[in-house]
Amino acid sequence: MDAGLVHHSASIRFSTTNRWFLAGKEIVSVTLSTNSQVWILNLGEDENRFSQRFLSDIDQAFTAISESSEPAALMITATGKFFSNGLDLDWLQANSGEWDAHVSSVQTMFARLLTLPVPTVCAINGHCFAAGAMLALACDYRVMRTEKGFYSLPAIDIKIPLTIGMTSLIQAKLTPRTALDVMTTGWRYDAPAALDAGIVDSICDVEELPNVAQEMVASLAGKDRQTLGTIKSTIYRNVVADLAKPIT
């Protein structure tokens, strides 16, 4: 891990990038950085699938912002064509015995993001599929770029039923009509369709995406963390309980 610290008079700002190697090639997993009260978690510039290392890095990022004491909010985004394509299905197919444990780890990530004691926003920069689409839903707010990219939960078409916890998360965040459509049709929503369906809260050009997303949460960064965390935990207590259930 590479980490650089920049000291200011009243606070510490930092940028952390987790790097690892696959077949001798350097892979950047995630980057957590901040130059203001809005911390930015960048998932990467590939398909940003949820490997075990990826989940570990995300957990570290959540811990970093949770343990900070200054006013803060979190924006999650990525770089390039994809926001996230979700589970690393190639790895799971090659390690089928790890399926339950891996999906449980993914659901733990969703639960932690749902109840993170700071405001959260997802800036959807590109394709946002499957578990990546659920990661976006676990944020408080969502902004999607207009030019390219689709939002989709293709579980019905790839014949992988959603877990109880995943279903509970989707139902908690979307209207009953949209939740049914998202889970049973495999439709690909472009930005205007996602806005109409209530999946995202705003849409904009990609050049404006970071600013629009940050503006959604910047004014909320000073909310009391204990109070906010308690409210979120109460709102989503049933979802969190379902996400903790054994994978069946």
What SS3 class is residue 14?
A: strand
> How many folded domains does the chain comprise?
1
User: Residue 95 falls within a domain, yes or no?
Assistant: yes
User: Residue 217 falls within a domain, yes or no?
Assistant: yes
User: Residue 248 falls within a domain, yes or no?
Assistant: no
pTM: 0.89
User: Residue 62 falls within a domain, yes or no?
Assistant: yes
Give the pLDDT of residue 43: 95
User: Residue 55 falls within a domain, yes or no?
Assistant: yes
Q: How many angstroms from the chain centroid is the CA of residue 199?
A: 14
Give the pLDDT of residue 17: 53
Tens place of pLDDT per residue across the chain (248 aa): 343 322 222 333 344 554 433 333 333 468 998 778 999 999 999 999 998 889 999 999 999 999 999 999 999 999 999 999 999 888 888 888 999 999 999 999 999 999 999 999 999 999 999 999 999 999 999 999 999 999 999 999 999 999 999 999 999 999 999 999 999 999 999 999 999 999 999 999 999 999 999 999 999 999 999 999 999 999 999 999 999 999 87
Q: How many angstroms from the chain centroid is the CA of residue 224?
A: 22
User: Residue 179 falls within a domain, yes or no?
Assistant: yes
Q: Name 3's bridge partners.
A: 16
Return the structure tokens found at 33. 């950085």
**Which ranges of the chain would DSSP assign to H, the alpha helix?**
52-67, 89-94, 99-114, 130-137, 155-158, 164-173, 176-185, 191-196, 209-218, 225-235, 237-243
CATH, residue 19:
3.90.226.10
Domain extent at residue 177: 2-243
